[in-house]
A and B are shown apart, each in its own frame.
Chain A
Amino acid sequence: MTQQNTPPVVEMTGISVEFPPVKALDGVDFSLRPGEIHALMGENGAGKSTLIKALTGIHSPTAGTIRVDGVERRFSGPADARAHGVSTVYQEVNLCENLTVAENIMLGAEPRVLGGLNWRAIRRQAATHLERMGLDIDPGSSLGSHSLAVQQLVAICRATVGDCKVLILDEPTSSLDTDEVAHLFTVMRALRDDGVAILFVSHFLDQVYEVSDHMTVLRNGTLVGEYVTADLPASELVQHMIGRSMDVLEAAEEVLEQAERPADATPLLQVVGLGRKGSVQPFDLDLYEGEVVGLAGLLGSGRTELARLLTGADRADTGEARVAGRPTRLRNPRAAMRHRIAYTSEDRKGEGVVDGLTVRENIVLALQAERGWMRPLPRKQVDELVAKYIQQLGIRPADPEALLRNLSGGNQQKVLLARWLATAPKLLVLDEPTRGIDVGAKAEIQKLVAELAADGMSVVFISAELEEVLRISHRIAVLRDRRKVAEIDGNRASMDQVVELIAGGGAA
C-alpha cells in the first residue's frame, strides 16, 4: 500500500495549460507516489485529460514544474515519457489491429539479433508479459480477432513492457463488462504491489472506490483537493466534482413517476419476429409514446444489434415492423428517419459525431441530410436552432463554430443528441448515451430523457450500467446471448431480479 513518507515519483506543481482564450488548467498541483492507485476525478472539461497530457508531453504547460523521480522534466511526447518510465493507456485502444498480439506488445521494444528482429524472443517475451497479466491468449493471433476488452488488456500489457514506473490508465473500463473489470483490477493491484504508481481515470464511481487508494479532484481546471479514498464518502466526492449537490440525479426519477399509458393505445413502433442472422435472434417489441424502454444485458448480449434493427442502421432479414399500426420496412437509416425514428450509436467517435465539422454543422447534419442538399436550411433558422440546443443542453463551449474534435466527450454526446432532437423524432433510440461521460453530464442526459418521455416521445435507452437503466425505464427488455429473454416492469423491477434474468436464472 501507499507509504506517505516515500518521495513521490511524479510531482507536478503549479501547472497551467492554456488554449487561448481558454485556461484549461490553472495552477494545479498533483503528486503520485510509488505503489499507489491514484484516481483523478472531475467532470468533463475539468482538466483531467489535459493534466495527463501535460505530464506526458502532449501539451506544454505555460507555467509550473514537473518532476519525475525528483528530476525536473518536460517530456517531448508520449514516447519520451515512456522512455522515462511513464506509460499511458487511453480510452480508445491505440494499437494495430492487423498485427499480432505479440507484435503489438513488443512494438518499439523488440529484441534484436544481428540487426534484424528476433521473432522467437518477441513471441517468448510477449508470452511472459501476457502471463504476468493473467491473459490466456495466443501471442501469435492477430489483435483484431480479439474483443475490445482483451485489446484493452493487451494495451496495458504493452504499457508495462520495459521499466514502467508510472502507469496512466485513462478510462480503461468504459468498454469492459463486470468480469473483465474485475480482471483488470486484479492486474492493477498486482502492478501496484510491485511498486508501480498507477494514475486511474474513470467515470464509474463504484470502480474508483473499489480500486483506488487516493484521489485528486479537479473542477474547471483548478484543484479541489487530494483525498484518501476511504475517508471520502461518495456524496461528498460528487459535490466536490460538480460543485452542487446530488439533487439533479434525483430529479430524473421524479419526472418519471407521472407517466401512465392508456390500455388501448396503439404502439408507435411494433416489431414482430424482427431478427438478423448472426446478429440478434427474432424478437417482438412494442414501443409506446411517452415511454422509456430500457435494454439490459451484458456486453455482446445483442442490445446494440437490436437497436440497429429498430432504426434501420442494419437491415433485418426476418420479421416485420409497424409504425402507428401501418406495416413498413426499415431498410436504412433514411427510411427510419422518415418515420421520425432517430438513433445515436454507442460508437460516438466512429459512428456519431463528425469531428472535423463544427458544432453548428454537426447539429444540423441529420435535418439537412433529410431535406437533401438542394434545399439548404436558411442560415437564420440554423442559427436559432443551434443556439437553442446549445443553451438547452448546456453544450460547452457555447460556440457554434467550435470544431467538434475540441469538445469533451460529454459535450460531443450532447451535440449528437441535439442533432437528433432537431429532427423532432417520435422515437429516440439512445445506445450508451452516458458512456465515458461524467456524473454531471450523465445526470443531465438522464433528466433530459425523462423529460422527453414526459413530453410524449418514445425512448429506447441502452446502458451497461444497470442502475441507470433501472432508474429511468418504464419497461425493461432483458437480453442474453443475442436473444430477448424477458420484458419486465421498470417501476417494480429490482436490481437483483434483472441481474438474475441477465445471468440466466429466474423467470426466463
Chain B
Amino acid sequence: MRDVLRHHLFWPVAALVALLVANTVARPSFLAVTVRDGHLFGAPIDILRTTAPLLLVALGMTLVIATRGIDLSVGAVVAVSGAVALSHIASSPNPDSPVTVLTAIALALVLCLLLGVWNGFLVSVLGIQPIIATLILMTAGRGVAMLITGGMITTVNSAPFKVLGSGFWLGLPVAAVIAFGVFAVVAFVVRRTALGMLLEATGINPAASRLSGVRSRTLTWTVYTASGLFAGLAGLLISADTMAADANNAGLFIELDAILAVVIGGTALSGGKFNLSGTLVGALVIATLERTVTVLGISPLVTPLFMALVVIAVTLLQSPRMRERLTAARRRQVMAPAEPPSTARPDSTPDSTEVKA
C-alpha cells in the first residue's frame, strides 16, 4: 500500500479516476461504450480523440522540459501546420486526391520541423533563454499562419484529409491511434536507448554532461526539433477535425495545457528527471476535465475557475512539500492521544513542534 501511494503515477491517476467517478455519478451512462457502424462510440472514446493533439504537444514539451527548457511556440506551430496543409489542399484542383493530401501533410510537417530547428538553433547554438527564444516564434508563428491563409478562415472539403480528424480505424478514432502510436514509439525509443538518461543528465547538470562527452548541444537541438514536429502533427489532427484553418484560434493556449499535462504528470519544470507515462496521464486528466465541464453542466462563466481549482488541487497533491505536511499532520493526529504530552513534546517554541511531529 505504501509503495502504491509513493508511486509517481499515484496522484495523477487518482485525479483521473476521481474525474471519471464524478462524471459517472452525474451521468451513469458516462463510461458506456457502444458499437455503431463498426465504430466505437461513447464519452471515453471522445476523450481519447480530444486528448490526441494535446498528447503529441505534451510529448515534445516533456522532452524539452527535461533539458531545462520550455517551448512556448507549439500553439503557433499548430496554427502554421493547419494553415499550410489546408491552404495547399484548397488551392489544389483536386482536393480529394490522396496525392494532394499526402503532399499537404508532408509540406506541413517539414515546415514545422524547420520551425523546431529554428527554436533549437536559438537555444542550443546562440544560447538564448528557451522562454525568450520560443516566445519569438509564439508571436511570429501566428503571423506566418495569417500570411499563409491571407487572414481568412480557410474551409476545405477533402475526404481523405478529414479522416485524420474524425475517421476511425479498427473501430478507434484515427487521431487517437496516431497520437498514442507516436507516443508509444517515442517512449519506447527514449527508454530503450540511452536517450532518456543523456537528456536527464543534460537537464540536471549541463556542465558535468559536457565534460563527460555528452553532446548536449545536439541533444537540446533535437528535442526542440522533435517538439516542432509533434506540434505540426497535432496541428494536422486539429485542422482535420474542424476542416478550417484558423490562424488566430487553432491551438490557442495548447502550450499551457501541454505544460500543465507535463507538470500534472510529475515532471518538474526545473528539468532533469522526466516521466512520459505521467505526461500521458496528465494529458488524459486535462481532456477529461474539459469533458467533465460539459457533463456536469457547469456554466461557461465559471468553467475557467472550475478547471483552475482542479488543477491547483492536483498540483498541490503532487508537490512533495505539500505531501510532507499532510502526512506530518496526519501522523500528529494519530500519535497525539497515544503519548502523554509531557514526554512526547519537548517544551520548546511552538514552531518547532509544527514540523517535528
Contact = CB atoms under 8 A, between A and B. Distances in A.
Residue from B212, B219, B352, B355 with most neighbouring chain A CB atoms (10 Å): B212
B276 to A, nearest CB: 16
Interface of A: 57, 60, 65, 71-77, 80, 313, 332-334, 337, 343, 345, 350-357, 361, 365-366, 368-377, 419
Interface string B333-357: 0000000000000111101111110
A57 B208 contact: no
B291 interface: no
Contact of A73 (B193, B195, B209, B352): B352
Interface residues of B, number: 32
B27 interface: no
Interface in B184-215: 192-195, 197-198, 200-201, 204-205, 207-215
A75 B356 CA distance: 8
A130 to B, nearest CB: 31
Given A357-B197, A368-B198, A369-B198, A57 B215 contact: no
14 contacts: A73-B352, A74-B353, A76-B351, A76-B352, A76-B354, A76-B355, A80-B349, A313-B211, A333-B211, A334-B213, A365-B209, A369-B215, A373-B198, A374-B195
Given A333-B213, A365-B212, A373-B219, 5 more contacts: A76-B356, A343-B211, A345-B211, A350-B205, A374-B195
B201 A352 contact: no
7 closest A-B pairs by CB = A369-B213, A369-B214, A356-B204, A373-B195, A366-B212, A376-B194, A72-B346
B201 A353 contact: no
A377 B194 contact: yes
B212 A333 contact: yes
B208 A352 contact: yes
Contacts, number: 108
B273 interface: yes
Secondary structure type dominating chain B contacts: helix
Nearest to B349: A80
B272 interface: yes
Contact of A355 (B192, B204, B348, B351): B204
B204 A373 contact: no
Given A352-B208, A355-B205, A371 B194 contact: yes
A356 B197 CA distance: 11
Contacts of B351: 76, 80
A65 B194 CA distance: 48
A333 B211 CA distance: 6
A313 B356 CA distance: 46
A369 B195 contact: no
A72 B348 contact: yes
Contacts of A369: 198, 201, 209, 212-215
Contacts of A71: 348
Contacts of B354: 76
A361 B201 contact: yes
B194 A368 contact: yes
B352 A419 contact: no
Contacts of A60: 355-356
Contact of A65 (B197, B219, B346): B346
B68 to A, nearest CB: 12
B189 to A, nearest CB: 9
Contacts of A355: 204-205
